[in-house]
Chain A
Amino acid sequence: MEIYLDNAATTQPATAVLLAMSECSRRCYGNPASWHRLGVEAAKVVERSRQTLAEALGAEPDEIVFTSGGTESNNLAVKGTAWAAGRRGKHIVISAVEHPSVTAAALSLEKLGVRVSLVGVDSEGLVDPAAVARVLTSATILVSVMHANHEIGALEPVQEIGRLCRGRGILFHCDACQSFTKEPLDVAKVPVDLLSVNAHKLHGPKGIGALYVRKGTALAPLFDGGGQEGGRRSDTLNTPAIAGFAAAIEAVDLRAASVMRRLRDRLWDSLRRAVPGIRLNGPRKARLCNNLNVMLPETESKPLLRKLSAAGIYASAGAACSSAKPEPSPVLLAIGLSPQETVRSLRLSLSRWTTQAQVDAAARAIVRLAGGS
């Protein structure tokens, strides 16, 4: 039995997604910017998908910009707002636990004279809105705080942070790649101006994402080119992937979150009962439904992951994007773990396809390999 518990890194595409992509590739292969019949058929796929995504977010279709994924969406949000602000762009605020695509994008602006403030988190990884408020200045153009953390699942108080940004006329960007379709997030209710999502975390295809851009938000494009997506993102649209993205959204079962939460809690209960000294990294309550991150006091995660992989159980030590880097996880350091503790940490992330039998088998294997009882 293969047990895939690395769904925060990526998910297995759903059959409906593969069918939608295959059908689109065969029948709607025209360029959606072309005016002939095949082009217009492809454009219909794009616009139908845009409507599906907009409805899922509570947005208008014109507020959706398709991108190549979460990294591009985050770069477009951070750099695009700073570039559009021009000489006015002097200060950006991000949290200390953002995805590297937000952090690196923000820090890259420093050479243009933009000052970047990193707001710390508490021991559970949660940002204090009051701490954000304290660093805002009249020069602040953007605050970027993620919805759910990619390593420890912390659900940040984006409603409160968005409200304080809106009250001061500051743009608020939220990276929702981990939480999209798992936790409710309606842009009609949350005061967010830019929101990043992607498809491959919800059983959709890789290489497709989107940025919600609230109507009236000034945004400079990352790429020069043909001016697709209303001039906000040039390049020929990836129509099959867009069709797959919509199919993935349509296949979401809203009841799945409570099942994932129950199985995740069951997995944690099994581990904490059997592994002495095991600790939960991240929040106990304000936590994404499919995320478990634990610190194993006596076991380094990399050799453990190799043994688990050999047993057909797939998990990770942290963010997939950072796995190749030898440095300790900035997220785990930010919540107070020592460098030695970060390399003893294990991220187990479920999907709506994870079963109780899989969770129980994974727990037994981890306990056995981590020297528990």
Chain B
Amino acid sequence: MSRPAETLDLTGVPCPANAARALLVIEGLPAGAFLRISLDDGEPIQNVPPALEEQGHVVVDKVRIGTGWQVLVKKGEEA
């Protein structure tokens, strides 16, 4: 499995602009590519991963780092 080439810091970005920006970056990646996203705790970690999954991407991992989160997403094959 290749490691993620892209990272995206969405800490401090309000909802749902954070989800929109994540989706715009993912859309520019090839199918199967990985994106590691930094998110704030609270509403962002609760809402952004489901929004990505709804559009066909796979949330591989969610790790708490300090006061925020890092989420590893794989671009869906059909997305």
Q: Least Cβ distance of B19 to chain A in Å?
A: 6
B16 and A40 form a contact (CB under 8 A): yes
Counting CB contacts under 8 A, is B24 at the interface? yes
Nearest to A227 among chain B residues (CB) is B14
Chain A residues within 8 Å of B16, by CB: 32-35, 39-40, 43
Using C-beta atoms within 8 Å of the partner chain, give the interface range for chain B. Answer: 10 to 19
Counting CB contacts under 8 A, is B65 at the interface? no
Nearest to A51 among chain B residues (CB) is B24
Q: How far is the CA of A62 from the CA of B55 in the complex (A)?
A: 24
B54 and A37 form a contact (CB under 8 A): yes
Q: How far is the CA of A43 from the CA of B21 in the complex (A)?
A: 8
A40 and B20 form a contact (CB under 8 A): yes
A46 and B12 form a contact (CB under 8 A): no
Contact (A44, B24) CB under 8 Å given A35-B47, A35-B51, A37-B55: yes
Q: Mark B5-16, 1 if CB is under 8 A from A, else 0.
A: 000000011111
Q: How far is the CA of A44 from the CA of B16 in the complex (A)?
A: 9
Q: Least Cβ distance of A243 to chain B in Å?
A: 13
Q: Mark A28-61, 1 if CB is under 8 A from B, else 0.
A: 0000111101011001101110110000000001
A47 and B20 form a contact (CB under 8 A): yes
Query: Number of A-B pairs whose CB atoms are under 8 Å?
Result: 39
A40 and B23 form a contact (CB under 8 A): yes
Q: How far is the CA of A108 from the CA of B21 in the complex (A)?
A: 38
A62 and B13 form a contact (CB under 8 A): yes
A46 and B17 form a contact (CB under 8 A): yes
Of A34, A44, A46, A50, the contact of B23 (CB 8 Å cutoff): A44
A40 and B14 form a contact (CB under 8 A): no
Q: Least Cβ distance of A151 to chain B in Å?
A: 37
Q: Mark A223-241, 1 if CB is under 8 A from B, else 0.
A: 0000000100000000000
B residues neighboring A (CB under 8 Å) = 12-17, 19-21, 23-24, 47, 51, 54-55
A-B residue pairs in contact (CB < 8 Å), sample of 10: A32-B16, A35-B16, A40-B51, A43-B16, A44-B20, A44-B23, A46-B17, A47-B17, A47-B21, A61-B21
A residues neighboring B (CB under 8 Å) = 32-35, 37, 39-40, 43-44, 46-48, 50-51, 61-62, 230
Give 16 A-B pairs besides A35-B16, A40-B20, A44-B24 with Cβ atoms closer than 8 angstroms: A32-B20, A33-B16, A35-B19, A35-B51, A37-B54, A40-B16, A40-B55, A43-B17, A43-B20, A46-B17, A47-B17, A47-B20, A51-B24, A61-B21, A62-B13, A230-B14
